[in-house]
Amino acid sequence: MNVADIVRALKTDIVVGEWRSGHIPRTTFPLSLARPKNYKFGPEYKWRLVTFDCLRNSFRLLIILNEGKLIYRAILGMEVGQDLTVISHYEFHASEPGWHCHVTFRDVDTLPQGVNRSHLRRWPKPSVTPSRLEFGVKDSTALGIALARFRIAAIGPLGV
């Protein structure tokens, strides 16, 4: 199973958390080898968690947004015991031009657990002309962007 299989698969038991701000508890998105800075965000950052099941596994999608700094991240992780294996980051931020992913297409069983992105590669490559899409993300649209990117849909309201 790789990221393409996960994106294409039917998702079940979808739960969308509320927007929160600042610090992210490690239990929300557990990465045993991640540095504390991966969880410390100021009050200008908002985040929310989406959980779902597919392909007999449980997944967490952490959405992080800072409208003022034009930062957006949607981080997909697969639960492995009390830890996560990070599979993909979909993001926009000023330090790298345009919308892009950090992703691997390797089998998820071969990926390291508990790390944020050491095994992921940027796509498209930095040498490619960046996407012309503007940032334009607000807390009212951030969830929809992540759900569309990872093809997560539910019957009924999603608690947007």
pLDDT of residue 85 exceeding 70: yes
Average pLDDT over residues 145-150: 92
User: In 3-state terms, what secondary structure has residue 147?
Assistant: helix
* Residue 97 neighbours by CB under 8 Å, 6+ apart: 126, 130
Query: What would you report as the CA-atom Rg of the chain, rounded to the nearest whole angstrom?
Result: 15
Segment 104-146, tens digit of pLDDT: 888 999 998 998 877 677 666 666 655 555 677 888 999 999 9
pLDDT of residue 32 exceeding 80: yes
Q: What is d(CA 127, CA 144) in angstroms, rounded to the nearest whole number?
A: 28
User: Per the structure block, which two tokens stand in for 33?
Assistant: 């080898």
60 neighbors 49 (Cβ within 8 angstroms): yes
pLDDT of residue 155 exceeding 60: no
Question: How do the domains of the chain map onto residue ranges?
Answer: 3-149
20 pLDDT band, cuts 50/70/90, is very high
